[in-house]
A and B are shown apart, each in its own frame.
Chain A
Amino acid sequence: MAKLRFHIRFPEEKIPEPIIYQIGHEYQVITSIRRADVRETTGWLDVEFCGETEEIERSIEGLREKGVSVDPIELNVVEHEQTHPCTMEFSEEQIQRYSRHIILPDVGGKGQKKIQQAKVLVIGAGGLGSPAALYLGAAGVGTLGLIDGDVVDLSNLQRQVLHTTPNVGVPKVESGQQLLAALNPDVHVQTYQEHISESNILDIIPEYDLILDGSDNFGTRFLVNDACFFAKRTLISGSIFRFEGQLATIKPHEGFPCYRCLYPEPPPAGLVPNCQEAGVLGVLAGTIGVLQANEAIKEILGLGESLAQHLLLYDALEMKFRRVGRPKDPRCPLCSAQPTITTLEEHHVSCSL
């Protein structure tokens, strides 16, 4: 099996997408197609072909016959890789569906494959979970877990875009599964029609690579943090209140701070107003939920800078994003060298300051 790189240039300035699909189809596999930065204006593409050398040569000839210019680069580079990128097979439909990712520098076919292999658990199919699950589903995340014990209520539809009016009264996970299946049949949606609790959480989260917390109370947030710490899973925590949102990526198992390093304890019950009384801007749920999906995709692809050491603060009225430092607490009750919390504990507290 050979891996050969070519510069190819199409007859017109604009790169015709059908040819991209065709490459994927005819030559079985593309490991990456990306616009070479300097050549972008002239329509050059830097393409890797995988397959038997003769087969690739035939393919190149076929392209040339269609008026495509093909220049070999590093023609002598023939690699035999252990984890064979040549076995990545996308259907023609998948190549079309994910073409905007596949042509994107830093994602490509390899990145899309990582997304396809990823397993992400979304806790709460509500305000944050809805937009996050929709974008993760659209991106082609292979397995999406949805856990929520509630049914769709009319008052949810102002922001919970995973649900529709005809589904009022239907369990949220079922409603979510329907919409995700319609959006992208590639995605396997695993549903859990129950509230997450100390009795089920450690059975569920080890099945996933990444956990998104879109829950609506402090008790669950501390429980999820603690369980992710014990199960060594990366947690992307988003929360919203009225016009403000907070976001952080939590991975103490990689030496970064946990949620308790940021807020050691939940507020005591009774000190805080009820979530339902406080209200929330519907669009804010979308903003923060989509940012959670963004950070999830970055974790899957290993791209960019994460919020592992920062807390992102968003104010929808001032339209300001700010990042504050989030150091590891050497006295953290959970993730420090001398922890005082060594098992899961259930917290029953309400939801805001």
Chain B
Amino acid sequence: MIKVRIPTPLRPMTGGKGEIEITGNSVGDMIEQLNTSHPGLKDRLCDEHGEVRRFINIYVNEEDIRFLTGKDTPLKEGDEVSIIPAIAGGA
């Protein structure tokens, strides 16, 4: 199993769940699986070309996939994936 951490702004789409378990071989697989179980999630994560949006980072364990192999970044049993959007609040 691979644990995926869902950030607060996306939890309305996961029924409030902050953590979802998936199986999958890559980050791309993970996104498709998440979208199957929670339709619409892919649109929030990816742009019209299917690329991860530029203000959202996906970390496999502690590494940003943009500095690995993007959506092709492989996943294995026991990995933890975090979806981290930019946040701007401060006032």
Contacts and interface: CB of A to CB of B under 8 A. Distances in A.
Contact of B82 (A240, A275, A324, A353): A324
A213 to B, nearest CB: 7
B89 interface: yes
Contacts of B59: 324-325
B8 A244 contact: yes
A244 B91 contact: no
Interface stretch (A47-55, A200-208, A263-271): A263-271
A262 B88 contact: no
Contacts of A264: 54-55
Interface string A239-267: 11111111000000000000000111111
B63 interface: yes
Interface string A320-335: 0011111101000000
Nearest to B53: A267
B7 A263 contact: no
Of the four ranges (under 10, 10 to 19, 20 to 34, 35 or more), the interface on chain A belongs to: 35 or more
A275 B67 CA distance: 30
B87 A352 contact: yes
Nearest to B59: A324
A125 B55 CA distance: 25
Given A241-B9, A353-B9, A266 B86 contact: yes
A9 to B, nearest CB: 48
Contacts of A218: 55, 86, 88
A278 interface: yes
Contact of A353 (B66, B87, B90): B87
Contacts of B56: 353
A263 B55 contact: yes
Given A267-B53, A324-B82, A353-B7, A126 B62 contact: no
B76 to A, nearest CB: 18
Contacts of A2: none
Contacts of B9: 241, 272-273, 278, 352-353
B29 interface: no
Interface in A165-218: 213-218
B85 interface: yes
A278 B54 contact: no
Contact of B91 (A266, A275, A322, A352): A275
Contact of B85 (A221, A238, A322, A353): A353
Given A241-B8, A327-B64, A263 B89 contact: no
Given A325-B63, A353-B55, A280 B89 contact: yes
B10 interface: yes
Contacts of A324: 57, 59, 62-64, 82, 84
Interface of A: 124, 126-129, 156, 160, 213-218, 221, 238-246, 262-267, 272-273, 275, 278, 280, 285, 311, 313, 318, 322-327, 329, 351-353
5 contacts: A127-B91, A215-B90, A241-B88, A264-B54, A267-B86
